[in-house]
Structure 1
């Protein structure tokens, strides 16, 4: 099933997330971060932070905190077994810290296909901001959907 370009520009549900110190420290440990500034409050404060700073790639997981992070796929009839994470990029504007509430606002920026529709791409852009509206970061995520039945290329 082809993803319609009609979804380009569609705002997805906005969510708010409380950034918890324990979750940040767990994430830092899980990714192998050894800098204590990400897991030890005293080290973070000694480095000039008011609390534990958010590790850079932590922001990607915030979208999963929404009520139904896979609702778009269900709505579009996309089989999750055919979905791949294609690419991720981050543009940072400010450091977020434990104790802050962040707003996660995703939207669909682009939809396109390749290989005769065998591969479809959904590009999602997400703005993450503080409760005062200050943008912390902008994320760009490319999702790949495999549609093997659409592959019309002749194998070599």
Structure 2
């Protein structure tokens, strides 16, 4: 499992259930029904051809699905004048799979960080995304 700590593309794990290691070796996490965290997008509603370009709390997330690479590609950018701590990205698919979160990064003002989240092998039609910042609510421990 490689985590990019430089300012190159962010890679993240596909999460789709209980903590287990699938045949691919990826860490997977399936969220229990009704388990939601404050500020999260609940409903996958964007088509595969849609572009997500939203700025919230000074953090701009630009993502689009690339069918050729089967990945969500884009960037996370600090649009403000103050540093943003522990910024990360998640994508939720309508097949129940959560991609990410990406590793947390501190972003300086106007800093832009590439994002690349490999999509699920399980088919999906709709997706949603969001950026988070601050305390790392998603800390998963995998052996």
Question: Structure 1 length as normaliser, TM-score?
Answer: 0.27
Select the structure of larger CA radius of gyration.
Answer: 1
Structure number with the higher helix fraction is 1
Larger fraction in strand: 2
Normalising by structure 2, what TM-score?
0.28
